[in-house]
Structure 1
Amino acid sequence: MAKTLEMIFVTQEGKTASITIEEPKEPVDINAVKQAMDVILAANVFTSPSGDFVGKKGARVVERNVNEYEVI
């Protein structure tokens, strides 16, 4: 099972954009995530097709299962 931490930001146009971190340390320290998101916003180094990141929307851990089948 692959897990990722998604930090979701609001852009200048009011849309959302995400930064994904693979295999986050668990349990996730939400205060550390909030602080990291604040640093990202203050640095203003990320942009998206809908503009710069201007606010925090949320964060979540996503768990994904992949079952591959050989069909050859």
Structure 2
Amino acid sequence: MAKTLQLHFNTAAGKQTTLSVDNPRGDLTSEEVEDAMQLIIDANVFEVDGSPLATLKSARLIERNVTELIRA
């Protein structure tokens, strides 16, 4: 089963953006995710069209089953 953690943010310009993390730790809590998202905002290392991340919007953990039929 493939897992992806999606972190949704609002930028200072009001746009929405998403950061995705493949194979996140299985025992994450909502508090840990929220704290990590705030650290990302505070570090000010990501911008979207020149606008920094400003606020948390949401986060979600997506689980999906992947069956490879042919692999080259």
TM-score calculated relative to the size of structure 2: 0.80
Q: Which residue of 1 aligns with 2:25?
A: 25
Is contact 1:7-1:60 (8 Å) kept? yes
Contact 1:7-1:19 at 8 Å conserved across structures:
yes
Work out the percentage of aligned pairs sharing the same amino acid. Answer: 37
8 Å contact from structure 1 (residues 11, 50) kept in 2:
no
Are 1:10 and 1:55, in contact at CA under 8 Å, matched by a contact in 2? yes
> What is the count of residue pairs matched by the alignment?
70
Counterpart residue type for residue 26 of structure 1: G
Distance 2:21 2:36 in 1: 12
Residue 13 of structure 2: aligned partner = 13
Structure 1 unaligned residues grouped into runs of 5+:
none
The DSSP-based 3-state class of the residue aligned with 2:19 is: strand
Give structure 2 stretches of 5+ with no counterpart.
none
1:17-69 alpha-carbon deviations (Å, 9 max, x no partner): 11111111223311111110111111101011262100000100112334555
The 10-residue stretch of structure 1 (5-14 or 60-69) with the greater mean CA deviation from structure 2: 60-69
| 35 and 13 in structure 1: CA distance in 2 versus 1, 3 angstrom threshold | same
**TM value normalised by structure 1:** 0.80
- Alignment partner of 1:34 is 2:34: yes
Q: Which amino acid is the alignment partner of residue 36 of structure 1? A: A
Pairwise CA RMSD: 1.7
